[in-house]
Amino acid sequence: MNIHSLIQLLVVIEECRTSENVVAELERVLRSYKFDFYGLLKQPKPNSDPMSLVLAGRWPEKWPHVYIAKKYVLIDPTIRYLSRAQRPFRWRDTVTAFRADPHRRRMEQMMVDGRNHGLLDGYIFPIHGRNGLLGNMTLGGDVVDLSPSEMSLFEAIAKKTFWRILELKGDADALEQGAAADTRMTRREMEILNYLADGLTSMEISKLLSISNHTVDWYMNGIQDKLRAKNRQHIVALAFRYGLIS
């Protein structure tokens, strides 16, 4: 693998005059690294059109249908890990991070289904702005072991490609100025979120967790502030959208 191609790409991206040219240059380098599949995406926000989140990408032919049909977005460990990650990470490491999660088996099944479709492993590079997580670049396909230097360069490429495409589309300023929701939840907040999604009241949740209903309401208000939700129904809707609960 030629690390110089990554350095060159950083220069070429800045010189591209159309988003199509940016994507073409990116895909050329990804193919040389045997990353047959990738996605460059904006982070979901309330009431956003899912299709508007995709800046560029290519996935196995039937994988999007399987992913949607089995509702993997609700438990996808890579997406859940992304919400709290500050640095790039590998797909296969995310299931381990959720080893105590009640949805662990579904997470593992999602990974198996992905491998059956040619997604043997991959990486995710978070893209942050002053308002928090703004998007990510996902690379996958064959098993590829990137060196620390390559990881750093791909991280830089993710940011450069993301912002260059937005600049060429005239969307960069709007995204940078928008307020982002905070999807980092504590263990107790996640417990309450899941019970809320099951339709339980504060009183019912308090009995299950052996805490007062006022404490439950205190946690609920904190969750509402983090997600910038209007009410409890909106909390649940946003939690599903961000892949926090199933």
Question: How does 133-156 read in b/e, with b if 16+ C-beta sit within 10 Å?
Answer: bbbbbbbbbeebebeeebbebbbb
Report how far residue 109's alpha carbon sits from residue 95's, in angstroms, rounded to the nearest whole number: 11
Domains of the chain, CATH where assigned: 3-177 (3.30.450.80), 187-241 (1.10.10.10)
**pLDDT (0 to 100) of residue 92:** 94
Mean pLDDT for all residues in the chain: 89
Instruction: List, in order, residues 6 or more apart from 95 with CB less than 8 Å away.
Output: 77, 104, 107, 108, 111
Listed residue (242, 244, 243) closest to 44, CA to CA = 242
**Sequential pLDDT tens for the chain (246 residues):** 589 999 999 999 999 999 999 999 999 999 999 999 999 999 876 555 556 789 999 999 999 999 999 999 889 999 989 987 889 999 999 999 998 888 999 999 999 999 999 999 999 999 987 667 889 999 999 999 999 999 999 999 999 999 999 999 888 776 666 555 667 889 899 999 999 998 999 999 999 999 998 899 889 988 988 888 888 888 998 888 888 876
Report how far residue 85's alpha carbon sits from residue 62's, in angstroms, rounded to the nearest whole number: 28
**pLDDT (0 to 100) of residue 45:** 62
